[in-house]
């Protein structure tokens, strides 16, 4: 079987702890984006700009971390990360405000920013990768620290817990689901629809910014061409997790499971040296199967 977890020699490399945590680490970047994407999709929206925003974030953090900055190593790294994350959050705020104030469909607005932000990232970096290096300077030490499994997995886990609690236990979370379920009824109930929408896209920007910082550290470079099609991976994870693009249904738990399915699948296929093009075809089938099985399960 193509997707059985055994290597050609019969040993079960998949189940080795080293490999399992690798799987988790690899999927964390997309997983973090998928958390915020869950909120966006719950409101019956979509955010196509996250891939480009990720590129912007990796580029900015690399640019500022390789520059001479504050003498304090911690401050230096925090400053670079702060710039990258706030710029990404700002992209989200602009997306959200355009969608909420002008009433343009989210697909169109975020399609535009997907193109525009990619351009911005390339323009800022002259379309060149910014290497962080492996020495003992501030930049390299930042990358080594952030790139630890602990930090990456910890960030994903912490954000997943926060997003889960906010969705299940706060007014904001309740409104997010309500708006996607029936926006008109939300209006008739006096819910702050615009404010919620702006927040949801701002959070998508914010989390993508954080994911971008992790990506830069993992790859030891800022890359304006990073994150291509990540928006689609994130959407796929959310949808496999049981969300409906029509809004109103979906959960953080589901999205985490969806992310794991995508990550494990990729990992198994790579361990078996399956051609990456074939990998895409298998993924396509899995996405449709996963959603199809849920649909038929709901009917009975």
Give the binding site for other proteins (CB under 8 A): 165, 169-171, 174-175, 177-178, 181-182, 184-192, 248-249
Nearer to other proteins, 68 or 188 (CB): 188
Nearer to other proteins, 182 or 219 (CB): 182
Q: What does R_g of the chain's alpha carbons equal in angstroms?
A: 20
Nearer to other proteins, 149 or 195 (CB): 195
Nearer to other proteins, 91 or 193 (CB): 193
Q: Can you name the residues that pair with 131 across neighbouring β-strands?
A: 221
Nearest distance, CB of residue 187 and other proteins, angstroms: 6
Nearest distance, CB of residue 186 and other proteins, angstroms: 8
Backbone angles phi, psi at 152, to 5 degrees: -65, -50
191, with CB counted inside 10 A (0-12, 13-18, 19+), is: middle
Nearest distance, CB of residue 132 and other proteins, angstroms: 38
d(CA 42, CA 59): 30
Nearest distance, CB of residue 168 and other proteins, angstroms: 9
Nearer to other proteins, 7 or 44 (CB): 44
Q: How many residues does the chain have?
A: 300
Nearest distance, CB of residue 254 and other proteins, angstroms: 14
Phi-psi region of 15 (alpha: psi -120 to 50; beta: other; left: phi over 0): alpha
Nearest distance, CB of residue 192 and other proteins, angstroms: 7
SS3 category, 246 = coil
Nearer to other proteins, 186 or 212 (CB): 186
118, HSE (Cβ side, Cα atoms, 13 Å): 17
d(CA 150, CA 136): 21
- Token pair, residue 182, equals 């029936």
Nearest distance, CB of residue 236 and other proteins, angstroms: 22
Nearer to other proteins, 169 or 270 (CB): 169
**Closest C-alpha to 1, from 274, 240, 291, 281:** 274
Backbone angles phi, psi at 192, to 5 degrees: -80, 75
């Amino acid at each position: 079987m193509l997707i059985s977890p055994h290597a050609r020699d019969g040993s079960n490399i998949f189940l080795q702890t080293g490999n399992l945590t690798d799987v988790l680490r690899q999927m964390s970047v997309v997983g973090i984006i998928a958390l915020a994407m869950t909120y966006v999709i719950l409101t019956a929206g979509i955010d196509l700009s996250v891939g480009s925003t990720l590129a912007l974030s990796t580029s900015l953090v690399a640019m500022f971390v390789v520059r001479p900055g504050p003498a304090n190593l911690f401050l230096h790294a925090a400053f670079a990360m702060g710039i990258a994350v706030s710029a990404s959050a700002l992209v989200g705020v602009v997306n959200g405000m355009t969608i909420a104030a002008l009433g343009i469909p989210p697909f169109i607005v975020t399609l535009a920013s997907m193109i525009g932000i990619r351009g911005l990232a390339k323009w800022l970096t002259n379309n060149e990768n910014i290497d962080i290096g492996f020495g003992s300077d501030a930049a390299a030490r930042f990358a080594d620290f952030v790139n630890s499994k602990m930090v990456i997995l910890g960030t994903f886990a912490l954000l997943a817990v926060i997003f889960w609690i906010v969705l299940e236990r706060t007014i904001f979370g309740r409104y997010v689901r309500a708006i996607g379920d029936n926006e008109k009824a939300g209006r008739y109930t006096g819910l702050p629809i615009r404010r919620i929408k702006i927040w949801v896209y701002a959070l998508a920007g914010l989390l993508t910014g954080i994911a971008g910082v992790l990506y830069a550290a993992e790859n030891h470079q800022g890359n304006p061409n990073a994150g291509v099609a990540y928006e689609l991976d994130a959407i796929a994870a959310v949808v496999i997790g049981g969300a409906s693009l029509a809004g109103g249904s979906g959960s953080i738990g589901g999205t985490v499971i969806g992310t794991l399915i995508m990550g494990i699948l990729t990992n198994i296929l790579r361990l078996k040296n399956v051609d990456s093009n074939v990998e895409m075809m298998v993924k396509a089938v899995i996405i449709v199967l996963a959603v199809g099985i849920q649909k038929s399960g709901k009917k009975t």
